[in-house]
A = this chain, B = another copy of it.
Amino acid sequence: MSLTFLAPVGAVIALLYAAFLAGRILRSPEGNEKMKSISMAVRKGANAYLKRQYTGVIIFFAVMFVILLCLALTGFLTIFVPFAFLTGGFFSGLSGFIGMKIATSANARTANAAQTSLNAGLKIAFSSGAVMGFVVVGLGLIDISFWYYFLKWFYRALPEAEQIQSITSAMLTFGMGASSMALFARVGGGIFTKAADVGADLVGKVEAGIPEDDPRNPAVIADNVGDNVGDVAGMGADLYESYVGSIISTAALAVAAGLGFSGVTIPIVMAAIGILSSIVGTFFVSTKEGASQKNLLSALRRGTWISGVIVAIAAFPLIYFGLGSDKIGFYIAILTGLIAGILIGLTTEYFTSDTYKPTQNLAKTSLTGPATVIIGGLSLGMLSTVLPVVIVSVSILISYSVSGGSGSIGDATFNQGLYGVGLSAVGMLSTLGITLATDAYGPVADNAGGIAEMAGLGENVRERTDALDSLGNTTAATGKGFAIGSAALTALALIASFIAEVQIIDPDFSFELSIINPPVLIGLFVGGVLPFLFASLTMDAVGRAAQSIVVEVRRQFREIKGLLEGSEEPDYATCVDICTKSAQKEMLPPAILAVIAPILIGLILGVNGICGMLGGATVSGFILAVMMANSGGAWDNAKKYIEGGAHGGKGSEAHKAAVVGDTVGDPFKDTSGPSINILIKLLSMVSIVFASVIVSYHIF
- Interface of A toward B, CB cutoff 8 Å: 198, 202, 206, 365, 368-372, 374-376, 378-383, 385-386, 389-390, 392-393, 396-397, 400, 405, 408-409, 417-418, 492, 495-496, 499, 511-522, 524-526, 528-529, 532-533, 535-537, 539-540, 542-543, 546-547, 550, 611-612, 615-616, 619-620, 622-623, 627, 659-660, 663-664, 667, 700
Contacts and interface: CB of A to CB of B under 8 A. Distances in A.
Given A379-B536, A408-B514, A543-B365, A660 B528 contact: no
Contacts of A627: 532
Contacts of A533: 382-383, 385-386
Contact of A516 (B202, B376, B496, B526): B496
Given A368-B202, A382-B536, A496-B516, A525 B664 contact: no
A515 B615 contact: yes
Contact of A543 (B206, B375, B400): B375
A157 to B, nearest CB: 33
A526 B393 contact: yes
Contact of A611 (B397, B408, B516): B516
Contacts of A616: 619
A375 B539 contact: yes
Contact of A513 (B372, B515, B619, B700): B515
A529 B664 CA distance: 22
A494 to B, nearest CB: 11
A550 B397 contact: no
Nearest to A395: B522
Contacts of A376: 540, 543
A60 to B, nearest CB: 23
Given A396-B521, A516-B418, A619-B620, A371 B499 contact: no
30 contacts: A202-B372, A371-B659, A372-B546, A374-B660, A375-B664, A378-B536, A379-B536, A379-B539, A382-B536, A383-B537, A385-B529, A385-B533, A386-B533, A389-B529, A393-B526, A396-B521, A408-B517, A409-B514, A409-B516, A417-B518, A496-B516, A499-B516, A511-B514, A515-B611, A525-B622, A528-B619, A528-B620, A528-B623, A620-B620, A660-B660
A615 B383 contact: no
B386 A529 contact: yes
Nearest to A194: B375
A516 B369 CA distance: 45
B522 A396 contact: yes
Contacts of A522: 393, 396-397
Contacts of A540: 376, 379, 383
A487 to B, nearest CB: 13
Nearest to A407: B512
A651 B280 CA distance: 62
A660 B369 contact: yes
B370 A528 contact: no
Contacts of A542: 375
A374 to B, nearest CB: 5
A602 to B, nearest CB: 15
Nearest to A661: B371
Contacts of A206: 369
Contacts of A543: 365, 372, 375-376, 379
Determine chain A's interface SS by DSSP, over half rule: helix
Nearest to A512: B408
Contacts of A529: 385-386, 389, 623
A627 to B, nearest CB: 7
Contacts of A392: 525
Contact of A532 (B365, B385, B663): B385
Contact of A515 (B380, B518, B612): B612
A550 B667 CA distance: 31
B525 A619 contact: yes
Contacts of A550: 368
A525 B492 CA distance: 12
Nearest to A620: B620
A578 B495 CA distance: 51
Q: Which of A512, A522, A526, A550 has the most CB of B within 10 A?
A: A522
Nearest to A203: B368
A525 B370 CA distance: 32
A375 B521 contact: no
A492 B499 CA distance: 25
A521 B492 contact: yes
A664 B374 contact: yes
A529 B620 CA distance: 8
Given A383-B533, A418-B516, A521 B369 contact: no
A691 to B, nearest CB: 15
A520 B526 contact: no
A324 to B, nearest CB: 24
A588 to B, nearest CB: 17
Contacts of A524: 515, 524, 615, 619
Contact of A368 (B371, B385, B516, B547): B547
A264 B195 CA distance: 58
A471 to B, nearest CB: 26
A374 B371 CA distance: 9
A322 to B, nearest CB: 25
B389 A528 contact: yes
A309 B566 CA distance: 71
